[in-house]
């Protein structure tokens, strides 16, 4: 008999139910869904997110204090010399491109938005160096606007292992997650998946034996677990908490 499918996502209903259960577990294990990039305003988060491409959040947090001191807003950054910005952000990698994008972004904000970071996805993605992921980060985390789901490398990997999507394309994954979860969960979902991807569901060596999501995770794309190890953890993993 064919599996019952959800009209919203097209996924089998049991996949949708396991996804909801997994989100409950994620909320319990990561009650505070925070961004790891230090910031005190939408401008600072936008700058930090642009710098975080191909770089760790910890490294970005090391360079942003001096950068924000030198350029505390879009108006000052728009007038910056490329060389000066490069010196401050060099250790984040791809520093020439990033410096050009930062200055270009700031000029766009000053010229088109009166110096204020725009609060819409459509306006943000017009700025140099700002893609859909960066725009969703700024809108969701700094402005509390659920414009979509942030899809990075962790969200891509976990969503596939968990069977929430079959795609590796960020925009397709975002659409799948937006169909699967209510809007109120979109902002926290990506933060929690990113935390989980860093701590437990690590690329190439996911710690499935320690993972509270195991009862609700089909582990798509991963080899079978050792039966003995599963048995040893059986009692604990039998609970959905």
CB of residue 151 to ligand SF4, shortest distance in Å: 16
* Active-site residue flag, 152: yes
Instruction: Give CA torsion, residues 115, 90, 40, 23, to 10 deg.
Output: 110
CB of residue 29 to ligand SF4, shortest distance in Å: 11
CB of residue 98 to ligand SF4, shortest distance in Å: 31
Residue nearer to ligand SF4 on the CB measure, 137 or 201: 201
- For residues 56 and 36, give the distance between their C-alpha atoms in angstroms, rounded to a whole number: 10
User: Among residues 60, 47, 45, 129, which one has the least CA distance to residue 92?
Assistant: 60
- For residues 204 and 240, give the distance between their C-alpha atoms in angstroms, rounded to a whole number: 25
User: Among residues 142, 84, 135, which one has the least CA distance to residue 105?
Assistant: 135
Q: Is the Cβ–Cβ distance between 190 and 150 less than 8 Å?
A: yes
* Active-site residue flag, 133: yes
> With the C-alpha atoms ordered 103, 109, 112, 118, is the resulting torsion angle positive or negative?
positive
Residue nearer to ligand SF4 on the CB measure, 37 or 162: 162
CB of residue 19 to ligand SF4, shortest distance in Å: 12
- Catalog residues that contact ligand SF4 under the rule CB under 6 A: 158, 161-162, 200-201, 206-208, 211, 213-214, 217, 219, 222
CB of residue 148 to ligand SF4, shortest distance in Å: 22
Kindly state the tokens that stand for 170.
């960020």
Q: Is the Cβ–Cβ distance between 99 and 73 less than 8 Å?
A: no
Residue nearer to ligand SF4 on the CB measure, 183 or 207: 207
Residue nearer to ligand SF4 on the CB measure, 2 or 235: 235
Residue nearer to ligand SF4 on the CB measure, 68 or 164: 164
- For residues 74 and 85, give the distance between their C-alpha atoms in angstroms, rounded to a whole number: 13
Among the options 20, 27, 57, 152, which is catalytic? 152
Among the options 98, 133, 176, 185, which is catalytic? 133
Residues that are catalytic? 133, 152
């Amino acid at each position: 008999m064919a599996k019952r499918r959800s009209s919203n996502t097209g996924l089998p209903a049991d996949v949708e139910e396991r996804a909801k259960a997994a989100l409950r577990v994620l909320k319990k294990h990561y009650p505070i869904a925070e961004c790891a990039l230090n910031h005190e305003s939408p401008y600072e988060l936008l700058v930090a997110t642009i710098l975080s491409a191909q770089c760790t959040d910890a490294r970005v947090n090391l360079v942003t204090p001096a950068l924000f001191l030198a350029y505390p807003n879009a108006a000052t950054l728009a007038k910056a010399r490329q060389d000066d910005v490069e010196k401050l952000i060099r250790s984040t990698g791809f520093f020439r491109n990033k410096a050009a994008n930062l200055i270009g972004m700031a000029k766009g904000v000053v010229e088109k938005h009166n110096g204020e970071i725009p609060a819409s996805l459509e306006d943000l993605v017009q700025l140099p160096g700002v893609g859909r992921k960066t725009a969703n980060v700024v809108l969701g985390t700094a402005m509390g606007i659920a414009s979509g789901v942030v899809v990075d490398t962790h969200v891509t990997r976990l969503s596939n292992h968990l069977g929430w999507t079959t795609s590796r394309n960020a925009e397709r994954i975002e659409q799948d997650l937006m169909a699967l979860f209510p809007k109120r969960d979109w902002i926290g979902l990506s933060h929690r998946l990113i935390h989980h991807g860093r701590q437990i569901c690590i690329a190439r060596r996911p710690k499935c034996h320690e993972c509270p999501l195991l009862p609700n995770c089909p582990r798509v794309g991963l080899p079978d677990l050792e039966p003995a190890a599963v048995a040893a953890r059986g009692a604990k993993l039998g609970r959905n908490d």
